[in-house]
A and B are shown apart, each in its own frame.
Chain A
Amino acid sequence: MAYRAVIPYESLDPLTIGASDDESKVNRDTLELEIPERNLLAAIYPDEPPPVPDATDAARYALEHPVSGRSFASLLAGAKSVAIVIDNQFRPTPQSKLLPAVFDALETAGITDARVVCANGKVFPMSETDIPQKLGPENLARMERLGIPFFQNEPRNEEMYTYVGVTSRGTPVWLHREVAAADVTITIGQAQSNHWGAGGGGKLILPGVVSDETIEANHCNLVPSPQTHYGAYAGPMRSDIDEAATMCGLTCTMNVVLDTHGRVIECIFGSHPDAHRHAIGRFNEIYTYEHPGPADIAICGVFAPTDHLFFHTGWGCMSADLVVREGGSIIYCSPSPGVSTAIGDFPGLALMDMMKPYLPPTRANYERVLKDIHARAIQMWAGCIWVPIYEVMTRKHLKLVTIEENLEMAADVGIDATTSLDAAFAEALERHGPDAKVIVLPFARYQLPGNAVRMHAEDLKPLEEVRL
């Protein structure tokens, strides 16, 4: 008897962006694999609620019904200036549908001093073609009519930043001056658990709209911490981010929980940091699963809203790590077709080449990585993704299943890759024997074992207690 697993193998047209809702630009391919029943430990398919009928209406309702603190209208009543911080082209948040509700509130309150700032951190800014896709042409026209300027983060332009202070974990904070100048700051982003603890909320402040030094200080010190992991909301990295956001005067957050098709399941608004915490709690209710015990092999799939680069789809390596035994195998199915940007086309494994000087992945070479992080020879705005993947690779075998076009670069970098899931699975069974236990995580980037969740400081426990 065999279990037939269906693995999402989705990708986006390289010319579109994560927030696009144009289904013609999404490739919803799947891979299928027969797994002998005796090998199957678990196949985890989340039970996703239906999407909201209208994201703009959901945003409007959320702004009027905060889960904590005051309504947005009430906050605006005493304000003269507002900063609206949105996420960038590599996040699937449908800003074009959420912004109208915010602009309605600004107009009703008579606020004329407002700005929209893109939280692109150290990633290159959105291009002239990205901006209308992300914000929507109607919103851009409305911004022009209302005199609302649009800014993007310029982390190396010192003139754009205002010094705020130092967090309790030692991160010096310089904030984008357009955000610093506002009485009320709202972030609009996607809430999801991830390998930094969680995304969205205060994370649009740090790393979104702070300086190079702030981003690197936070990331260099706190990404490698064993307490920074999937679900670790109370971990050091996420805690530092939320503390910095508080210091920067973040007033409130609007957080969407998106399903694996990029549709809004919930929109949650309220004061910082409570509303974001609430949204992460909701995300975890949907996408956590009971740890089934250690697997020898994990088979992971990817879904379209972020699938241009393995750099972004590959986060699930860190969640699969939590349920795969030491020495086990992670088979990661990601077509990763690459992305076209204003400054050129980038292949599907772009930025993963940063790990090339440290391959093969060994503990000794990981020590070199750590030394180079603290010598500032590694840029951790990019290392915050490839370094955790590398660290997993020092303990587990990563096999990438991808499109033909990526194989040459994978070989050059030193990443083990193939185009065949069947071949990858046969090889893993050969490595781990006929009784190998297999877990299927079709949406690994979202999925995490429930015992990894650390929402409060008192929950912090050694990671060994997660891995079972």
Chain B
Amino acid sequence: MTHGAIRGSTTIVEILRRYPGGEAARLMSRLAWPCAHCGGAFHEPLTLAAKRHRNDPRAVLEAFRALERADGPSEEQLRLAAEKHR
């Protein structure tokens, strides 16, 4: 099964299913998101989830896209994605 690039409109559950080994769930955990267990995951696009959790949507998108790489997102990408904006 092939997937295109993760987009802002990709839902949380679609992202979780791309990574059955739990990589996406662990990234959500690093962002302090309980999405992996949430009923909203089935409808929530990544951009909206980022806004709801007050993270920068662009930084979050880049962190999730970096899951495609063997070494995953860098510490700097994780820091930027996890930063909360008031």
Q: Contact residues of A with B, CB < 8 Å?
A: 120-125, 152-157, 212, 343-346, 350-351, 353-354, 356-357, 375, 377, 379, 381-382
Chain B positions within 8 Å of A121 at CB level: 39
Chain A positions within 8 Å of B29 at CB level: 353
User: Within the complex, what minimum Cβ distance (angstroms) separates A356 from chain B?
Assistant: 7
User: Which chain B residues in 1-33 approach chain A with CB under 8 Å?
Assistant: 13, 16-17, 19-20, 22, 25, 29, 32
Q: Is the CB of B39 within 8 A of A382?
A: no
Find B38's partner among A157, A344, A379 (CB 8 Å cutoff): A379
Find A344's partner among B25, B44, B86 (CB 8 Å cutoff): B25
User: Within the complex, what minimum Cβ distance (angstroms) separates B70 from chain A?
Assistant: 20
- From A409, which residue of chain B is reached at the shortest CB distance? B29
User: Within the complex, what minimum Cβ distance (angstroms) separates B46 from chain A?
Assistant: 14
Chain A CB count within 10 A is highest, among B29, B37, B38, for B37
- From A378, which residue of chain B is reached at the shortest CB distance? B32
State how many residues of chain B have any CB contact under 8 Å with chain A: 23
Q: Is the CB of A123 within 8 A of B54?
A: no
Chain B positions within 8 Å of A345 at CB level: 22
Chain B positions within 8 Å of A153 at CB level: 39
- From B16, which residue of chain A is reached at the shortest CB distance? A343
For the complex with contacts A121-B39, A343-B41, A346-B36, 6 further pairs of A-B residues with Cβ separation under 8 Å are A122-B40, A124-B37, A154-B39, A154-B43, A156-B43, A351-B37
User: Within the complex, what minimum Cβ distance (angstroms) separates A370 from chain B?
Assistant: 15
Chain A positions within 8 Å of B40 at CB level: 122, 155-156, 212
Given contacts A344-B20, A354-B32, A382 and B43 within 8 Å (CB-CB):
no
Q: Is the CB of B16 within 8 A of A344?
A: yes
User: Within the complex, what minimum Cβ distance (angstroms) separates B1 from chain A?
Assistant: 15
The CA-CA distance from A351 to B29 in the complex, in Å, is 8
- From A309, which residue of chain B is reached at the shortest CB distance? B37
Chain A CB count within 10 A is highest, among B25, B39, B40, B86, for B39
Given contacts A156-B43, A357-B32, A377-B53, A124 and B38 within 8 Å (CB-CB):
yes
Q: Is the CB of B39 within 8 A of A344?
A: no
Chain B positions within 8 Å of A375 at CB level: 54, 86
Chain A positions within 8 Å of B86 at CB level: 375
User: Which chain B residues in 40-85 approach chain A with CB under 8 Å?
Assistant: 40-44, 53-54, 84
User: Within the complex, what minimum Cβ distance (angstroms) separates B77 from chain A?
Assistant: 18
User: Within the complex, what minimum Cβ distance (angstroms) separates A326 from chain B?
Assistant: 29
Chain A positions within 8 Å of B84 at CB level: 377
Chain B positions within 8 Å of A156 at CB level: 39-40, 43-44
The CA-CA distance from A14 to B32 in the complex, in Å, is 24
User: Within the complex, what minimum Cβ distance (angstroms) separates A95 from chain B?
Assistant: 19
User: Within the complex, what minimum Cβ distance (angstroms) separates A51 from chain B?
Assistant: 31
Q: Is the CB of B39 within 8 A of A125?
A: yes
The CA-CA distance from A279 to B86 in the complex, in Å, is 45
Chain A positions within 8 Å of B34 at CB level: 351, 354, 379, 381-382
Chain B positions within 8 Å of A124 at CB level: 37-39, 41-42
- 9 A–B contacts, CB within 8 A, in A order: A124-B39, A124-B41, A125-B39, A157-B43, A343-B16, A343-B36, A344-B17, A344-B25, A375-B54
Q: Is the CB of B36 within 8 A of A344?
A: yes
Chain B positions within 8 Å of A356 at CB level: 32
The CA-CA distance from A152 to B39 in the complex, in Å, is 9
Find B54's partner among A125, A212, A377, A382 (CB 8 Å cutoff): A377
Chain A CB count within 10 A is highest, among B20, B36, B44, B53, for B36
Q: Is the CB of B22 within 8 A of A343?
A: no
Chain A positions within 8 Å of B44 at CB level: 156
The CA-CA distance from A153 to B43 in the complex, in Å, is 12
Q: Is the CB of A346 within 8 A of B42?
A: no
Chain B positions within 8 Å of A125 at CB level: 39, 42
The CA-CA distance from A353 to B27 in the complex, in Å, is 11
Q: Is the CB of A346 within 8 A of B32?
A: no
User: Within the complex, what minimum Cβ distance (angstroms) separates A81 from chain B?
Assistant: 25
Chain A positions within 8 Å of B17 at CB level: 343-344
The CA-CA distance from A155 to B40 in the complex, in Å, is 7
Given contacts A346-B25, A377-B53, A123 and B32 within 8 Å (CB-CB):
no
Find B37's partner among A152, A157, A350, A377 (CB 8 Å cutoff): A350
Chain A positions within 8 Å of B32 at CB level: 353-354, 356-357
Chain B positions within 8 Å of A379 at CB level: 34, 38
